[in-house]
Structure 1
Amino acid sequence: MRHLRRTGVVAALGLGLGVLPAVPALALASGTTVGPAGHAYAASLVSGTTASFVVGSTTVTCNQSGNTGLVPAEPANTSPDGPVVSTVTPATFTNNGGNCPTNVLFTTARTASNNTNGDWTIALQYDPAGSTGTMTIPTAGVVTTISGLASCTVTVAPDGPATLSGPWIAGTEAGPPVLDFSAGVTLPIRVTGGLTCPTGATTATFRARYAITDTTDATQQITVTDGTVAPPPEG
């Protein structure tokens, strides 16, 4: 009877096909250590770059964007089998301190970020093939108001938290590490407004490259390294 029960479960998992396809073994995530432990850091656009937000045929471009955070103190700055997560401030988006221009004539955009419905976080994951950073935006954590010839409101993550991931590029003597979203990440949105607003759009594309600087000690850099804990020797 035990064998029959197991056979029935396998058949059900095979979705009625009678054969369960081979599934590769799941690889555990690498351990991660973020350092220096307890140091504060700031993210800002890589010099000479912009942050862009594309909704339908409308593109908002800002030359200033960033936020701040704190590397967890030891031992929380190490995760043996996954990312190290820390809370960051809501990201800011401006253009020379003011509204950001759009590609629509006589139209600008003002973006306000918040943590009303939860924290903004950054999860840094070490991988020997290329480390990554994943930022989480809480529900309705970014609201962009477009005004001018068009009057629209764009809410990011309207129905729940949203994440954006990109490569973590380690720092060098020439510059600090970079969190790179320049390939473009898709974010869920809701658009409200008049007939000229892209109210049918449900996603937007975000692009930016952020330099991450250690604000506790400018002579050091924020690092993402292997945090795997070696097993104790036998015997």
Structure 2
Amino acid sequence: MSAYAGRFAGRTAIVTGGASGLGKAVATRIVAEGGTVALWDVNADALTAAQAETGAVAVFALDVSDQAQVEAAAAGANAALGRIDILVNSAGITGATAPVHEYPLESWRRVIDINLNGLFYCCRAVVPFMLAGGYGRIANLASVAGKEGNPNASAYSASKAGVIGLTKSLGKELAEKGVIANALTPATFESPILAQLPQSQVDYMRSKIPMGRLGEIDESAAMVCFMVSEECSFTTASTFDTSGGRTTF
């Protein structure tokens, strides 16, 4: 039983990248705390399993880099949920590991399309529903890489820096409209996305964390759930940090 049972009673949420990793952990916690959730993910098979595990009421298989798919899913989620109170943008990929002058063009485009453009499409499609209801909470998953940059991860670092900038702009736009938008900047944590990286890159990122370990999914999930709760009422256009001391700004 969650220590915050009932915190999301009556609230509805969309969680992108919800079939695995942090997205699934957040969705599980929101449901456990009384919320109603729709999961979005590109992996249709994983979505079916995640729905059973999380208790989500609806799932949508889509590629967030496709604006038309996002618009359709937003309308579908609004119909399924009755309204949209919360958006957690967790969908993302790491891309290739290579120096800038050797970085594969297709990988660059795909990372920016999913991590930045896709997140923009999701916010653009969902915010009007929040404005109609006079309430909203948006958590955009960025990264310490967006603050500091990781070598051999230029596309990922650039995309996450873009997420931080977009969130600052969005939060200020909505500051007087009942909709709050913040970003989370976690250091590397244990999740399926690490399988996309060579061990040398994981070891490098661990070495940069003063606590000397990777994060745990539940640590970041707890922070996200605060960010999208009613308790988070006077912080917007900002970043929350779960980095083990790596970034303190």
TM-score by length of 2: 0.26
Q: Which is richer in strand?
A: 1
Q: Which is richer in helix?
A: 2
TM-score by length of 1: 0.27
Higher RCO (CA 8 Å, separation ≥ 6 residues): 1
* Structure with max Cα Rg: 1
